Amino acid sequence: MSSLCTTSVPHCYLCGSQGTPLYTDLVDHLFGVEGNWQLKICENPECQLVWLDPMPTLEDLPKAYQNYYTHQIVNALPSKTILRTVDFFAYRKFNKLLLKLTGMQKQRMQKNFFFLKEYTPGRLLDIGCGAGHLLNRIRQLGWEVEGIDFDESAVKQAQNLYNLKAYTGDLKDIVYPSDNFDVITLKHVIEHIPDPAELLKECYRILKTGGRLIMTTPNIQSWGHQRFQQYWRGLEPPRHLFLYNCSTLAAVTKKAAFEKVHTQTTAASSEYTFARSMDTQRKCTGKTLNQLKFFSKTWLWEYYENWLLRRRPTLGEEIVLVAQK
């Protein structure tokens, strides 16, 4: 039994079809929220949206975030720990060259600045800004930025660390004027939202005509999900309420009145996803792997997925969606 109150969600948010179980007995390996969780996939082959059923109620959803990483201080993420066991300096030098030769460095740079380098700077809102690391980088490109996040301690960090204009709360609580922003960004936010079309409709209202919405989210159709199945990092129950592929993410964006919608996938940070997925797999199966093998596998898989994307462009670990008002 879960410690959170939940509500049953038998039908698809997008097309109303029944859902069929994709995974049962999922556990929160990341932040220890109690309960066994189930993901369902829409039975309509044209749709294939994936969602959590049952979902935490709106009232209890904040309890799923009590130990969440936006509460932690900067550099508290565990992703570099593996690298300390190898010759980090030699690795970095070699990998830098390889990243350049394979074009992956360019992709990482694009992702670091949230695909904004090609646009003329203007007014930008980041929804789910956390401690403001991304917003601070975007400001360095010349954008006039502000952010919102439901997490009060993360917002305080954004204000204190980077002197950013950041607010605590939901977008609907702030009530921005219409036609106010040139760009709205949502980095790994949409999968956490119980009513995504409602949020995106409000984004549409406050964007200027010609303004852009840019989102990233885990890709349920990715090679990593196919490889790791129920251990895949992108599932993250019970915080990820919906899991999208390119077409379901485009559909939810179109439901919110956006017409010009473009999606692509990227493997720019797939190494992180593979490492965390393998951690979970090891925890669940008891299989051990020495640190060097562990690191080599995740590193090689990132290059493999990048190579794979040339032939099968929908298999990257993350979806990047750009929609224009």
Contacts with Zn ion, residue ranges (CB under 5 A): 12, 14-15, 17, 42, 44, 47, 49
Nearer to Zn ion, 99 or 193 (CB): 193
Nearer to Zn ion, 12 or 104 (CB): 12
Half-sphere exposure of 221 (CA within 13 A, CB side): 18
Distance between CA atoms of residues 143 and 154, nearest Å = 21
Distance between CA atoms of residues 237 and 266, nearest Å = 23
In the numeric block, which tokens belong to residue 124? 């930008």
Write the DSSP assignment of 82-97 as a string of letters.
Answer: GGGGS-HHHHHHHHHH
Q: What is the closest distance, in whole angstroms, from the C-beta atom of residue 242 to Zn ion in the complex?
A: 11
- 280 C-beta neighbours (distance < 10 Å), count: 18
Q: What is the closest distance, in whole angstroms, from the C-beta atom of residue 47 to Zn ion in the complex?
A: 3
Nearer to Zn ion, 11 or 297 (CB): 11
Nearer to Zn ion, 49 or 145 (CB): 49
What are the b/e assignments for 196-232, b being 16+ CB within 10 Å?
Answer: bbebbebbbbbbeeebbbbbbbbbbbbbbbebbebbb
Q: What is the closest distance, in whole angstroms, from the C-beta atom of residue 42 to Zn ion in the complex?
A: 3
Q: What is the closest distance, in whole angstroms, from the C-beta atom of residue 14 to Zn ion in the complex?
A: 5
Nearer to Zn ion, 242 or 295 (CB): 242
Distance between CA atoms of residues 19 and 42, nearest Å = 4
Nearer to Zn ion, 14 or 193 (CB): 14
Residue 293, H or E segment:
helix 291-309
Q: What is the closest distance, in whole angstroms, from the C-beta atom of residue 12 to Zn ion in the complex?
A: 3
Q: What is the closest distance, in whole angstroms, from the C-beta atom of residue 194 to Zn ion in the complex?
A: 16
